[in-house]
Chains A and B, each alone.
Chain A
Amino acid sequence: MLRRELLKTGAFCVAFSLASKNRQAFAKSATPADAGNAAFSPNAFIQVLPDGQVRLTIPNVEMGQGIYTSEAAILAEEMDLGLDQVIVDHAPASPERYTMPLQATQLTGGSTSIRGSWDVLRSAGATARLMLINAAASRWSVRPDSCEAKRGVITHIESGRSLDYAMLVDDAQRQSVPDVVPLKDHRRFTIIGKPWQRTDTRDKVLGATRFGIDAQPPGHKCAAVIINPVWHARPRLQNAPLPAGAHEIVALDDCLAVIADDFWTASEVARTLSVEWDYGRCTPFDTAQLRKAMNHAASNAEALTARHDASWSGRTPAESAEYEFPALAHAALEPMNATVACRKDELEIWIGTQAPGRVLDAAHRLTGFPKERIQVHNHYLGGGFGRRVETDQVEQAIRIAMKVDYPVKVIWSRATDIRRDLPRPPFLDRISAALDDDGFPIEWTDHITGCSIFTRFAPQFMREDGVDPDTVDGADNLPYSIPSVHVRWTPFDMPDERPIGWWRGVGPTHNLFRVECFLDELADHAGIDPYLYRARLLQHSPRLLKVLHLAAEKADWHRPLDQGFGRGIAVGKAYESYVCAVVEVDATSTSEIRLTRCVCAVDCGVVINPNTIVAQIEGGLIFGWTAALWGELTYAAGAVEQSNFHDYRLMRMNEVPSIAVHLVESDEHPSGVGELGTAIASPALANAVFNATGFRCRRLPLVPAIAEHVQSNSGGLKQRLDNLVSSFTRQGGEP
């Protein structure tokens, strides 16, 4: 029997749905049979086990963002449990049952986990608590409100009688589900708001955590794949003898898999194998051609209107600019991998995925096995960042596994991981503004050109007017008070319809960059301090104004800086949260831009675990700076040129500035933080670079653009002549 019995008999179970649109809890005392009830389709379960532990089964995936602990904290808070009394479980893959709110499938991404589960998890917890109290009260024949609960024990205050939740399992089962359940007042929170250690921390520190790549089912072998970095190229098969060390070579239509006892041997054989490729329908484009094509599309192709304010009249803009964003790799530290055992009529998959539901669907599609015969063992993820919502790699592993009769672990080498990434797409955005006499925008025109991810990934999320809501997120919902706004989007397709994908924030990361840099340009044009300029435009966005002032104050915004140093600010709303970052840079060296300091203010509603939120912001900022400074996939002859960390550069320890994150106290609904830092990092940095150097960088990444700028401004010919002379003097090895 493959599928684990989900609901053990003998437990009091509250099933509830994280999927409901109106975020009302459908809490119900349920048995497994009820779970199929049409009117009520729960996707999360609270079980009070006979041993007194409470098990929370939720469909989210932990990938370092700390949601398991946060969700346990929410439940413990409302159920009056100790945090140590809650066990959180990965739900098995089952999209029907574990569909995620805000995602429409069983998937973790887009900073939606806490956003989607806060209300329902609270009311489910409170419901369970109330039912347990009702059960105790009726057993004692007292009024429920004369009882109180603490750490899973219900006490009748007057008599001092008490019962554990575990003793009430059967009674509670028979209680009717209350219609109205009061939630705890925020001021009475004892668990929420405290920096709890995450449940996964200990194992991660001890090296005991099992990631997908660590799965070693008995009898498994390892596969290294040879995939041409040019998409759609097909290997030409030759009948060569099996090289020593290889167990088998499996050919698929787009790759070869060398299978050996260990991954290194497989890779070594793969390295020496020369494979001929059929490039039939591949376009051998390069980066310059890609940029040209985007430019062409931006100027000529039809644009869809994402927002059109009636008052917008198309006045001549006073300022306009073009911003360009490259394709970006995910480069999660754990390379893509999946282990698959394909047996006669069943399939077992070991993987770390953000989207167990998609994996299950894909496996079903490829094998034709009924979903009950497919088991997805989800593991911890060595970084997700939107890469592990995709199923391309596991699909390949399944296709390989279908051809062999043992479990096979397919690991992508780092080079394959980068070259066959589904990258964050490139964008080319044109923005302009007409200004009033004081230099503030009265008309704002924004035109985005770029690929749509939703079209492929989840077409049901496309807007009715045909606009991809993500592509324009952060552009059509500007927080600034600008009288008339016009936003358009021109869809663009990568050559050969190469797939592009999610990243740590897609829409907001490029839209916030452009909007915040362009506002800086306008402030500069108006001769107004960029912080004060923003403050004036944010008069009607109190939460943004608050983070803006907080960050500026904590960063000591008006303190003068030395020559060659600079300070930049950016503010924005993304994933329902509000954030402002102030970045300081040292640009005194000609060869590098050093970040020296960052102050960040965040309002993400109720703070569930300050420690994990700050960690997410710190990590997000670093992720964003990495991309802003160096991130770029370039193409030559249709293939990605980068292959590993020596040429796809990530920020390192000695490049990270001091970071201070200030959280705003708030009673608002909690909101996303995973991608928030990433979105705000790059504009704050670029604005600081401008402040330090006077160079306005409109094409990311910054470092090559700055180098180009320096070169073209360094006396050109004279420098070349100097080089010529110096190269003569150092040739020939003469004394």
Chain B
Amino acid sequence: MRSTFTLNINDERRTVTAPPRMPMLWVLRDLLALTGTKYGCGIAQCGACTVHLDGKALRSCVLPVGDVGDGHITTIEAVGRTDNGEKVQRAWMEIEVAQCGYCQPGQIMAAVALLNERPAPADFEIDAAMSGNLCRCGTYPRIREAIKLAATGKTDAMRTLVIGPSADSEVKEP
């Protein structure tokens, strides 16, 4: 009942032996030790496990490894190597979206997929793309702002000061 799959994960070939029904979430976490992708619900209701399959956001907890084939899987560990991934992560840091941080890999993956499809999303598109991702800490207002910041470079939100020698010695008003 186990089969061997050669998967394309974060631009590397990885070989795993697993039952074809095993969800990618657990292939990533338990077989490949890529623990950035999180388990929250297991039934596609929270989005914590979101990864990209060929640039599109999918819930890995309900994505059987047997269905992946040659598709390119990207996880939070490598999404920063893409343009949009880098932009989104920078925006996320700049206005400090994360609280406990557990949902954030999934949020970021969903946001990057949104920007891949729509470089400057309207509010209703942000809702449409992000409402499937839960955040128990309630970081939604900042997620929205960070997506806009990543898309436009502009935000009204409070920006953080990055801790470092220069920032300390010369404190700027936010």
Enumerate chain A interface residues (CB-CB to B < 8 A). 63-66, 69, 82-84, 151, 190-191, 194-211, 213-214, 216, 222, 244, 261-265, 267, 331-335, 380-385, 411, 413-414, 610-612, 614-616, 618-623, 644-646, 650-654, 656, 658-659
Contact mask B71-114 → A, CB, 8 Å, 1/0? 00001110010000000010011001111111111001000000
State the Cβ distance, A57 to closest chain B Cβ, in Å.
19
Establish whether residues A615 and B139, one from each chain, have CB atoms under 8 Å apart when the complex forms: yes
CA separation between A331 and B46, bound complex, in Å? 11
Q: Which B residues touch A66, using CB under 8 A?
A: 99
Q: Which A residues touch B141, using CB under 8 A?
A: 618, 656, 658-659
CA separation between A201 and B95, bound complex, in Å? 10
Establish whether residues B43 and A646, one from each chain, have CB atoms under 8 Å apart when the complex forms: yes
Establish whether residues A264 and B30, one from each chain, have CB atoms under 8 Å apart when the complex forms: yes
Known: A262-B31, A382-B102. A194 touches B136 (CB 8 A): no
Q: Which B residues touch A190, using CB under 8 A?
A: 168, 171
Residue from A63, A151, A331, A382 in contact with B38 in the complex, judged by beta carbons closer than 8 Å: A382
CA separation between A318 and B48, bound complex, in Å? 51
Known: A333-B136, A411-B39, A654-B131. A209 touches B101 (CB 8 A): yes
Query: Cβ of B162 < 8 Å from any Cβ of A?
Result: yes
Establish whether residues A333 and B75, one from each chain, have CB atoms under 8 Å apart when the complex forms: no
Known: A151-B168, A333-B135. A611 touches B160 (CB 8 A): yes
Contact mask B19-48 → A, CB, 8 Å, 1/0? 100110110011101011111111101101
Between-chain CB contacts (< 8 Å), 13 pairs:
A84-B165, A190-B168, A197-B161, A201-B160, A206-B77, A244-B1, A263-B39, A333-B136, A335-B40, A380-B100, A382-B102, A616-B99, A659-B141
Report the nearest B residue to A150, measured CB to CB: B169
CA separation between A264 and B63, bound complex, in Å? 13
Query: Cβ of B120 < 8 Å from any Cβ of A?
Result: no
Residue from A82, A199, A383, A652 in contact with B168 in the complex, judged by beta carbons closer than 8 Å: A82
Q: Which A residues touch B38, using CB under 8 A?
A: 211, 213, 333-334, 382
State the Cβ distance, A226 to closest chain B Cβ, in Å.
15
State the Cβ distance, A279 to closest chain B Cβ, in Å.
27
Query: Cβ of B56 < 8 Å from any Cβ of A?
Result: no
State the Cβ distance, B114 to closest chain A Cβ, in Å.
11
Establish whether residues A194 and B174, one from each chain, have CB atoms under 8 Å apart when the complex forms: yes
Establish whether residues B92 and A262, one from each chain, have CB atoms under 8 Å apart when the complex forms: no
Q: Which B residues touch A207, using CB under 8 A?
A: 36-37, 75-77, 104-105, 108
State the Cβ distance, A148 to closest chain B Cβ, in Å.
14
CA separation between A411 and B61, bound complex, in Å? 15
Q: Which A residues touch B93, using CB under 8 A?
A: 197, 201-202, 205
Query: Cβ of B163 < 8 Å from any Cβ of A?
Result: yes
State the Cβ distance, B170 to closest chain A Cβ, in Å.
10
- Give me the 8 closest cross-chain CB pairs, A-B, nearest first: A207-B36, A382-B102, A622-B138, A207-B76, A64-B99, A204-B101, A64-B100, A619-B138
CA separation between A207 and B45, bound complex, in Å? 20
Establish whether residues A194 and B171, one from each chain, have CB atoms under 8 Å apart when the complex forms: yes
Query: Cβ of B153 < 8 Å from any Cβ of A?
Result: no
Establish whether residues A206 and B139, one from each chain, have CB atoms under 8 Å apart when the complex forms: no
CA separation between A267 and B131, bound complex, in Å? 28
Q: Which residue among A196, A206, A333, A619 has the maximum number of chain B CB atoms within 10 Å of its CB?
A: A333
Establish whether residues B45 and A645, one from each chain, have CB atoms under 8 Å apart when the complex forms: yes
Q: Which B residues touch A200, using CB under 8 A?
A: 98, 101
Q: Which A residues touch B7, using CB under 8 A?
A: none
Establish whether residues A333 and B164, one from each chain, have CB atoms under 8 Å apart when the complex forms: no
Residue from B30, B80, B96 in contact with A262 in the complex, judged by beta carbons closer than 8 Å: B30
State the Cβ distance, A197 to closest chain B Cβ, in Å.
4
Query: Cβ of B130 < 8 Å from any Cβ of A?
Result: yes
Q: Which residue among B36, B77, B159 has the maximum number of chain A CB atoms within 10 Å of its CB?
A: B36
Q: Which A residues touch B37, using CB under 8 A?
A: 207
The majority secondary structure among interface residues of chain B is loop
State the Cβ distance, A433 to closest chain B Cβ, in Å.
34
Establish whether residues B26 and A263, one from each chain, have CB atoms under 8 Å apart when the complex forms: yes
Establish whether residues A615 and B162, one from each chain, have CB atoms under 8 Å apart when the complex forms: no
State the Cβ distance, A268 to closest chain B Cβ, in Å.
8
CA separation between A198 and B161, bound complex, in Å? 9
State the Cβ distance, B82 to closest chain A Cβ, in Å.
14
Establish whether residues B102 and A197, one from each chain, have CB atoms under 8 Å apart when the complex forms: no
Establish whether residues A651 and B160, one from each chain, have CB atoms under 8 Å apart when the complex forms: no
Report the nearest A residue to B134, measured CB to CB: A650
Residue from B35, B46, B80 in contact with A206 in the complex, judged by beta carbons closer than 8 Å: B80
Establish whether residues A205 and B89, one from each chain, have CB atoms under 8 Å apart when the complex forms: yes
Establish whether residues B43 and A644, one from each chain, have CB atoms under 8 Å apart when the complex forms: yes
Known: A84-B164, A205-B89. A383 touches B30 (CB 8 A): no
Interface residues of B in 137-174 (CB under 8 A from A): 137-144, 158-165, 167-169, 171, 174
Establish whether residues A261 and B30, one from each chain, have CB atoms under 8 Å apart when the complex forms: yes
CA separation between A191 and B158, bound complex, in Å? 16
Contact mask B45-56 → A, CB, 8 Å, 1/0? 110100000000
Establish whether residues B46 and A645, one from each chain, have CB atoms under 8 Å apart when the complex forms: yes
Establish whether residues B100 and A63, one from each chain, have CB atoms under 8 Å apart when the complex forms: yes
Report the nearest B residue to A261, measured CB to CB: B30
Residue from A69, A265, A610, A652 in contact with B131 in the complex, judged by beta carbons closer than 8 Å: A652
Q: Which B residues touch A196, using CB under 8 A?
A: 160-161, 163
Establish whether residues B158 and A653, one from each chain, have CB atoms under 8 Å apart when the complex forms: no
Query: Cβ of B57 < 8 Å from any Cβ of A?
Result: no
CA separation between A80 and B85, bound complex, in Å? 37
State the Cβ distance, B167 to closest chain A Cβ, in Å.
8
A207-B77, A210-B35, A381-B100 given; name 8 further pairs at CB < 8 Å. Answer: A201-B98, A205-B98, A262-B31, A264-B23, A384-B100, A610-B174, A615-B99, A644-B43
CA separation between A82 and B77, bound complex, in Å? 30
Query: Cβ of B117 < 8 Å from any Cβ of A?
Result: no
Establish whether residues A618 and B43, one from each chain, have CB atoms under 8 Å apart when the complex forms: no
CA separation between A147 and B33, bound complex, in Å? 53
Establish whether residues A653 and B131, one from each chain, have CB atoms under 8 Å apart when the complex forms: yes
State the Cβ distance, A421 to closest chain B Cβ, in Å.
13
Report the nearest B residue to A411, measured CB to CB: B39
Q: Which B residues touch A611, using CB under 8 A?
A: 96, 158, 160, 174
Known: A195-B159, A653-B131. A383 touches B35 (CB 8 A): no
Residue from B19, B25, B76, B174 in contact with A195 in the complex, judged by beta carbons closer than 8 Å: B174
Known: A205-B93, A610-B158. A413 touches B42 (CB 8 A): yes
Known: A209-B101, A333-B102, A623-B136. A653 touches B127 (CB 8 A): yes
Query: Cβ of B58 < 8 Å from any Cβ of A?
Result: no
Query: Cβ of B9 < 8 Å from any Cβ of A?
Result: no
CA separation between A334 and B38, bound complex, in Å? 8
Report the nearest A residue to B37, measured CB to CB: A207
CA separation between A208 and B75, bound complex, in Å? 12
CA separation between A622 and B33, bound complex, in Å? 33
State the Cβ distance, A222 to closest chain B Cβ, in Å.
7
Residue from A69, A414, A654 in contact with B40 in the complex, judged by beta carbons closer than 8 Å: A414
CA separation between A380 and B164, bound complex, in Å? 23
State the Cβ distance, A52 to closest chain B Cβ, in Å.
12
State the Cβ distance, B153 to closest chain A Cβ, in Å.
18
Establish whether residues A64 and B98, one from each chain, have CB atoms under 8 Å apart when the complex forms: yes
State the Cβ distance, A685 to closest chain B Cβ, in Å.
14
CA separation between A199 and B40, bound complex, in Å? 24
CA separation between A425 and B160, bound complex, in Å? 38
Residue from B102, B131, B163 in contact with A84 in the complex, judged by beta carbons closer than 8 Å: B163
Establish whether residues B127 and A654, one from each chain, have CB atoms under 8 Å apart when the complex forms: yes
Establish whether residues A383 and B100, one from each chain, have CB atoms under 8 Å apart when the complex forms: yes
Establish whether residues A619 and B134, one from each chain, have CB atoms under 8 Å apart when the complex forms: no
Query: Cβ of B126 < 8 Å from any Cβ of A?
Result: yes
Q: Which B residues touch A645, using CB under 8 A?
A: 40-41, 43, 45-46, 134
Report the nearest A residue to B77, measured CB to CB: A207
